Each structure stands twice: as C-alpha cells, then as structure tokens.
Amino acid sequence: MFSPIDIGPMKVPNRFVVSPMCNNYANTDGTLSDTSLAYYKERALGGFGLITFEATVVDVRAKGGANKACLYSDHQIASFKRVIDVCHDAGAKISVQLQHAGPEGNSKVSGYPLRAASAIASAAGRNTPEAISREELYELIELYGEAALRAKKAGADAVEVHCAHGYLVSSFLSARTNKRVDEFGGCFENRMRLPRLIIESIRKRVGHSIAILCRINSTDGVDGGLSVQDSATVAAYLEDCGLDGLHVSRSVHIRDEYMWAPTVLHAGFSSDLVTQIKRAVSIPVITVGRFTEPHYAELMVREGRADLVAFGRQSLADPETPNKAAAGKLDELLPCIACLQGCVANMYAGKPITCLVNPLLGRESEAYLPKTPSKKVVVIGGGVGGLYAGWMAGSRGHDVTVYEASDMIGGQMRLAAYPPGKGDLTNMVRSYIKKCEQFDVEIKTNTPVTPELIQEVAPDAVIIATGATPLVLPIPGIEDAGLIHAVDLLDGKEKCGQKVLVVGGGMVGSETAAFLGEAGHDVTVVELRDEVGADVISEHRKFLMRDFDEYKIKSVTNAKVTSFFEDGVTYSLADNKEHRIDGFDSVVLAMGSRAYNPLEETIKKIVPETYVIGDAIRARRALDATKEALDAVLQL
C-alpha cells in the first residue's frame, strides 16, 4: 500500500485513494470554496496518494445540486487550481471526476429536463428523463473534452469519466436502460460508443499530459443490468480505447445499499467482482467498498487483485488514515462505522456533509483555531458525546476528566453494537477511549457526579453529557408488569424467555428484535407507526428487514398499546376496537428515550461555564451528540 505506482503519465506516491464523494461544499457558481480547500488539503496532509475530486459537472444543463463543483466554464478554473496547488504541496496527486448526472440529476436546480439514454426513470418517484438527442450527445462529447482541458489548466494530474451508478454514461452501457436504435444503441459496440468518443475527445485536448480514468460498475446489481461478465468486457474495451486506469465501484441507485454500504457490509465486500475486472485488463485498477482499516486493502494489493484502494467514507472519518497506518498507529484510527447519518443523508438533502465519528468534517479549518488558555474541564457522561468532548478538549491543551456513573464506557453506542451486523460500532467507542488516553484525559467509571463532587474538583468548565433513559409512558400496567427494557436486555443485565414481545418498533426495538431472532427466539413486534424500522436509514433498513424475514419476526403495526400484562398487551387499531396479544414469556419495552439531565440547574450555579450536549438536551442521534461536543469544546 505504500509503494508508488504509475497510472499513465501520473506517478502516485502510494496506493491510498480518496474516492470522489459529493460533499455540497462548492459555491453555487460551481467554483470550489474555502471549505472545499480545507477539506481536500486535510486529506492530502493525511497521506493519501491520490485524491479524486467530487463529481464535477461538465454541462450547465446537468447540474444536479446547488453546491456542485463544475468545470463547464473557464471562470471555474482558478478555484480548482487553488485547491489543487495546496494538495500538490502536501504530496498528493489529483484526479477530477467528470460527470453528467443524467436520470439521477435535479431539474429543479438545473432548470433543464433530465436526460438519459432512453426515457426510463431511474427509480420509483423520480422524474422520467428525456432520451438525449444525437445532436446534444455529440455536443456533450465535446463538453467532456473541454472540461478535461480546464482540469489540466488547473493543474490536475488526471481526470476520471464517471460511467457508473446509473448516471448518464452508465445509462448507455446497459441494455436495461438503453433502448436506442441509433448508433448509440443496440449492440455492445454501439452502447460503448459514448464513452469511447468521450475518451477520444479528452485525449484530443490533453494528449498524454494527464491520465484518463473511468469509473465503472463491477455489476449493476439488477436483472438486465450489467453483470460482472459484462463489466469485465467493458473494462477491456475501455483499455483498448487508450484508458490509463479504472476505478471499479458497484451498483445503480436502485441497489444503493451496495453503493453506500451500511455497517453490516464489511471491507472488500465487492472484492471477488473487482478481481474479475482486474483479470480482464493490464492497466491499474482502483477498488472501493467500505474499506476502513487498511489490512484487507494491503492483502488485495499484495495478491494483485487490485492496484490501489479507495477509502471513501473512511477518509471522511479520519483523513490521517494513511499516515497512521504508516506509523503503526492504527489503534488511534477513527473508524467509519457506515452509519450514513451525516454523509449520505446530508448529500441527498443538499446539505454540506458531516460525520458522526468526525464532526470536524467540513469544519477542518476550525481544528487550527488558536488554543485558549488551559482550563480544568469536567465532562459528565462517558457516552460518545462525552468521550469526544473529552479527547477533543484534551487535544486543545485542557486538563480533562470524564466521569461515568456506570462501570462501562460507551453509553448507547456501545449497546447499539449488539444487534446483527453492528459490531463495528464498538470500534468507534474504543477509538474514542484511545484518543482520551492519547491526550491524557482521565476517565473515572463508577463515579456518579454530585454537586458536592463539582465543588470539590472546582473545574473551570463543565460539559454535561448524561444522555437519555428509556421512555416509560403512563400506560396502565407498564410499571408493574415486570417488563424488560431493551437496553438492559442488550447489556446482558436481563434475560428473556423463548417467546418475546417487543413493544416499540423503531430502530432500537426492531434491532433488538433482530438480535433476539438471530439467537433463535420467537419474536413479535408491536409498533405505533405503519411500519417497523421507520426511523432507520433506508440502506440499513433493507438488511434489517432481511433479518425480519430470515428469523420470521412477526409485526403488528398501526397499533396503539393501551395496557400491559406480564405476558402481553392490549392495543387499538384504526377500527378503535381493543385487541389483545398475549402468551409471551417476556415483554421487552423499546418505546424510545427521554433526556436525562438532573444536574444542569445546580451545576450552573457552581460553574457558570457549563454546556449541555447530546441526548441530555433531547433524545436524538449520536450525530447530534458529537457535533454539539465539538461546538462546546471550541467555546472553552
């Protein structure tokens, strides 16, 4: 992974790649912003050998978001050059991905109809695109060449033509989405005509002065789409077109659980597919797919199954991944846990992306704010919000102690690691503990904080991160029916019988049901809303529902629980009639959480500089907790 490699005329210093990720940091005129500069610079300083700039729009008619990077105009060159220059100074090579979003675009932003090979919507609910005309296609081919020339003028070492994920070029490659009968449709040669002419257009303008790569799918992942055999043929054809390298991704948006791989999928889940692509070509191949720690990446390169490895979301969580690997400090690595909360969710919403694990993402320049005089800081609560506040405050020179009332660090995030496929969450908790150790932050467990303790310690500042407790609604029988709280079950503090009723089918309840189902329990879930897992991010939910099917977990939805018994509940449906479900060995309560913050008013009288973060304000997501922890630390 630390050996150099040539991709055409470009010599990359190592095999660590930042993949192109939409971040919504660009200015509305398509230029790269100061935020873009700080973001890319941090990853160059972190040791990545090749950084691929986000999908960059080549045609003003295809702008898919208000804050998308663009190279359809000369006025955008200077901003790219400014960012590329600082990345070069840090030792990284730069590739700019060139894209026309096609059927995955945004007509409301661009003001133009969507375009695709044929008038086929990319998914249910998306606008049906217009089949792009031959005249516009030939114009677009020239626009790719002109955008590549602008990238070269800005100092880029390479350009990457986006031919994956169902975007415009991708829609031409597959017979599933290409129903044309002109020279761009029908046989394989015709369906490959568009990428071939784009490569020729780029080469005509830049010669062999910069490298040309393409990003392709290893498989589209849908019936009738490109199979891995098709994609291997595409790869070989593109090499014959004079391509210098390939970046192999996976899937169209209908199967985006294999694009934005959630926690349940592990590093290299597409490696066998990539191996088939690698066998088909002699040019360098970049693989991508949920790589966090570099061990399997190293194995892929050693075995010759790929030449470079792209760390996409891992580079968001920890831009210093290559440097830490080189220094043998992988225990200090902040891991991507594939939660998708701050990156993918914000990308789709058109907001600047952020990261649960690394709330400094998109705020990189704030890491270099002048340090304030050292203060004695007490953090109350050892969940991820408290731990992040602890180590971040320690890194800024403060004297920090984290107090945890229980005997175990990690809070809700530690328990969230127990359901099937969620074990990587433990890695995040452990990494935060390691960062506390790195910055001499003392962690005291089994130490409930009292006003007397605060008076004795006499801190200059306090950060309250006491989290949340299970929500217990005033429903008849709920207090005296011997119910088990889901968090106690996951933590091993309570045991349940064979036949289990879980009351509450949100994320905690449905994942607890999967946890029990995996262990062989007979599980039923009762949920107020019209579906279980309604608050689970869609890519995660697809695998969660697979668990429901596999473990034959039953569910009753649109059900308002009206009373509890030792062996079941009564509930009402839309018909307003009362129903009863009983005969269970155990009833598990997972109806949500409420803020736990009994100390704020008292402590503020003792320590005026007191901050409250995370669930102690209101029960929400860990993404909010770490963000608010960062905000608090920067105010110290």
Q: Are 184 and 138 spatial neighbours (Cβ–Cβ below 8 Å)?
A: no
Q: Are 135 and 203 spatial neighbours (Cβ–Cβ below 8 Å)?
A: no
- 121-to-48, 118, 171, 576 alpha-carbon distances in Å: 37, 9, 11, 40
Instruction: Give the N- to C-terminal CA distance of the chain in Å, as an integer.
Output: 40
Whole-number CA gyration radius for the chain: 26
Determine the Cα–Cα distance for residues 305 and 49; give it in Å rounded to an integer.
19
Residue by residue, DSSP assigns 461-509 as EEEE---EEE-----TTTTTS--EEHHHHHTTSS---SEEEEE--SHHH
3-state secondary structure 75-104: HHHHHHHHHHHHHHHCCCEEEEEEECCHHH
Tell which residue, 233, 214, 230, 353, has the closest CA to residue 286.
214
- 582-to-111, 159, 208, 349, 508 alpha-carbon distances in Å: 57, 63, 73, 42, 22
Cβ atoms within 10 Å of 552's Cβ, excluding its own: 9
Q: What token pair was written down for 190?
A: 């015709």
- 551-to-449, 470, 523 alpha-carbon distances in Å: 42, 26, 8
In our burial notation (b when 16+ CB lie closer than 10 A, e otherwise), range 492-531 reads: eeeebeeebbbbbbbbbbbbbbbbbbeeebbbbbbbbeee
Q: Number of C-alpha atoms within 13 angstroms, CB side, residue 538?
A: 11
Q: What are φ and ψ of residue 499, in 5° steps? A: -100, 120
Look up residue 365 and give its DSSP letter: G
Determine the Cα–Cα distance for residues 613 and 628; give it in Å rounded to an integer.
5
Tell which residue, 40, 37, 36, has the closest CA to residue 48.
40
Alpha helices in 216-290 (DSSP H): 228-240, 271-280
Which one of 25, 40, 72, 167 is the catalytic residue?
167
Q: What token pair was written down for 148?
A: 């590549």
How many H-runs (helices) and E-runs (strands) does the chain carry? 22, 27
AA letter at 449 = V
Determine the Cα–Cα distance for residues 204 and 464; give it in Å rounded to an integer.
61
Q: In the annotation, is 167 catalytic?
A: yes
- 536-to-259, 384, 472, 507 alpha-carbon distances in Å: 17, 20, 21, 6
Q: Are 453 and 559 spatial neighbours (Cβ–Cβ below 8 Å)?
A: no
Annotated active-site positions, please?
A: 167
